[in-house]
Amino acid sequence: MQPEHLLTTVTVHALIWSTGALAVVALRFRSWNWFQVGYALAAVAAIGAAVWLNTVISLGRNSVMFVARSLMDGDLRHLSAAALGTCLGLAAALWPWQVSECLSRRNRRIIRAATVTVVILAFIVLSLMTAQEQLQPLLKRRSLGSIVSNPFGFSQPADFIVEEYHQCNIHPVQIVVGPDDDIYVTGYWGAALQDGVVARLSRTSEGGAIRETTIARNLGRPHGLAFHNGDLYVSRSGQFARAEAGRLVGVNTGAVTLLRDVDGDHLIDYFEDVVAGLPGAQGPDPLHQNNGIAFGPDGALYITVGAHSDRAPTTGPFEGTIVRSRLDGSAPEVFAKGFRNPFDLCFTADGQCFGTDNDASDRRNGDELNLIRSGEHYGFPYADGIRPHPEATVSPLLVTRNRTFQGLCYAASSDLPAQFRDSIYIASYGSGEIQQVQLRREGESIRAVSSVFARVPGALDITVTDKGEFFVACFQSKKIYRLRLRK
């Protein structure tokens, strides 16, 4: 059992145990004794122990919220750990009633039998947890995998297989396929997820195990990454403020950095900021920064940059924009503006640029897919999602209100069946859905037709290879999934 699964077991056990123990005191408030009170206090202390254990595993994380999100992701290991915690918690909660003098002998026997039953169930669950790596493929072949591994269901077209490709040591954010066919991932790692890294996933042999190698560290908050002429570029940001004239002023820490392996040891040892001075992560919304990057058909570097407020006008020239820059970082300019938090962008075969944009969190007007053209304004802060856009601003090509739009990619591989080519694929972190957006070109305009391509819990980013294989990065579960054609 890994530490995070142990955390799930301990947290669920403590919650159920403390609830049952406190119920004993509450139901018998006129005849309770000090043993029952002490038992209830011990149960409450167990919750504190679970919180402490969580801080050991990952500093600053809320244990209850972590367990809730893990269960929503439907990971089999977390579900098994929660079942084990439930059995142990019920056994501990029922135990005081076995020695209670206020119950008849018959009722005490019933409670003892119930306690023995949940303990036996706990051993069964523990055995299943030990053997789940062997059982899960068998269950998937019987079409029960979607029930066992995720209550909300993995799904994919009949032509495809979805499979777990790798369990990462980091929380992956964005993903790309390198010129060497290895998978490169940006992500967070370490205490409170403060160490930003780039990892490479490579096979040890044909069909062999996946080796995860951290090739660069101390990058702050690395998000987007892209290759150009064999070089790797990473969009990253820090979070820092200076005190000036009695106010805290955010520092522009956003940058796009060139990474190179100079000595051939497959580790990055040369770093150069080709673009610097981007707004980076600042308040009042410090989660927005420079995110996805891509190289256009013109050879220029395109960078998505988030705004720092839900409503207020932007304060810097690059805030809430798509920035275009030459490869040497000279002459960065605003390519398009009016975005709240554009997370990613891609280019199609005919050179059109498409990007996702997150709506204001409290308004929930819907995340956007935009056809991005030079010099246009896309509505923020005056409108987002389904809200009517003012004159002289561009309305989104597609809006979703029941999910999010995060990472995306464009697929044109000739190895894909015709119905899956010339489409954009968008990952939805909230619903785990992968949306296929087919582009219908009608003269000078483009119409987008969206449908659910697959479901992968916790999907945050997606990329596709030249052979038509999709790789999906899942931040919370720290997993990479692959969708490949059955043939």
Residue 28: Cβ-neighbour burial (10 angstroms; 0-12, 13-18, 19+): middle
Q: What average pLDDT does this structure show over 17-23?
A: 69
pLDDT for res 204: 76
Dist. CA 459–CA 152, nearest whole Å: 13
DSSP string, 374-423: TT-B--TTT--TTSPPPTTSPPPSEEESSS----EEEE--TTS-GGGSSE
Res 340 pLDDT > 70: yes
What distance lies between CA 8 and its chain's CA centroid?
A: 19
Beta strands 341-347; 353-358: pairing state: antiparallel
Q: Residue 115: pLDDT above 90?
A: no
Mean pLDDT, residues 38-64:
66
Place domain 160-485 in its CATH homologous superfamily.
TolB, C-terminal domain (2.120.10.30)
Q: For residue 281, how far is the Cα from the chain centroid? A: 18
d(CA 186, CA 172): 6
CA atoms within 13 A on the CB side of 312: 10
Residue 483 has pLDDT above 90, yes or no: yes
Q: Where in the chain is the domain with CATH 2.120.10.30?
A: 160-485
Give the list of residues 6+ apart from residue 172 with CB closer than 8 angstroms, or none: 185, 186, 187, 199, 460, 461, 473, 474, 475, 478, 480
Predicted confidence (pLDDT) at residue 28 exceeds the cutoff of 80: no
Residue 487 in this model has a pLDDT that exceeds 90: no
Q: Find where tokens 């449908």 sit.
A: 451
How is residue 19 written in tokens? 């609830």
pLDDT band at 150 (very low <50, low <70, confident <90, very high): very low
Mean pLDDT of 188-200: 88
Angle at which helices 34-57 and 3-27 cross, to 10°: 160
Cα 346 to Cα 230: distance, rounded to the nearest angstrom:
18
pLDDT exceeds 80 at position 188:
yes
Alpha carbon distance 371, 398 (integer Å): 9
Instruction: Please give the average per-residue pLDDT across 69-83, as a whole number.
Output: 65
With beta carbons less than 8 A apart as the criterion, state whether 236 and 223 touch. yes
Q: What is the pLDDT of residue 136?
A: 43
Whole-angstrom distance, CA of residue 222 vs CA of residue 227? 15
Residues in the chain: 487
